[in-house]
């Protein structure tokens, strides 16, 4: 997914990736990522927890607009 993010940024699309496995996602150097301590398969948030899911998406959206440079990382619990 990091490689897709890179290709899209090169084509002119700002992106944001959410990752629960930062060693894996970071190895391919995504332009921007939000790191969460969540389960694989529930990357955006826990089931039924709209608040956590929105936190993830809002942080991702913020990165697409406000990241200052390549390699931006935001962490959430």
CA distance 60 to 18: 7
Give least dist CB 17 to other proteins, A. 4
Exposed e or buried b for every residue in 31-52, given b needs 16+ CB within 10 A? bbbbbbebeeeebbbeeeeeeb
User: Considering the rule CB under 8 A, would residue 27 count as an interface residue with other proteins?
Assistant: yes
Q: Which two three-digit tokens encode residue 67?
A: 């990241």
Q: Which of 22, 64, 73, 76 binds other proteins (CB under 8 A)?
A: 64
Residues forming the site for other proteins (CB under 8 A)? 1, 3-19, 21, 25, 27-29, 31, 39-48, 50, 53-54, 56-58, 60-62, 64-65, 67, 69-71
């Amino acid at each position: 997914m990091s490689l897709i993010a890179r290709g899209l940024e090169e084509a002119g699309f700002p992106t944001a990736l959410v990752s629960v496995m930062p060693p894996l996602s970071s190895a391919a150097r995504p332009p921007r990522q939000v790191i969460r301590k969540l389960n694989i398969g529930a990357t955006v948030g826990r089931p039924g927890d709209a608040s956590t899911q929105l936190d993830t998406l809002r942080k991702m959206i913020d990165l697409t607009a406000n990241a200052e440079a390549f390699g931006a990382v935001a962490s959430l619990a």
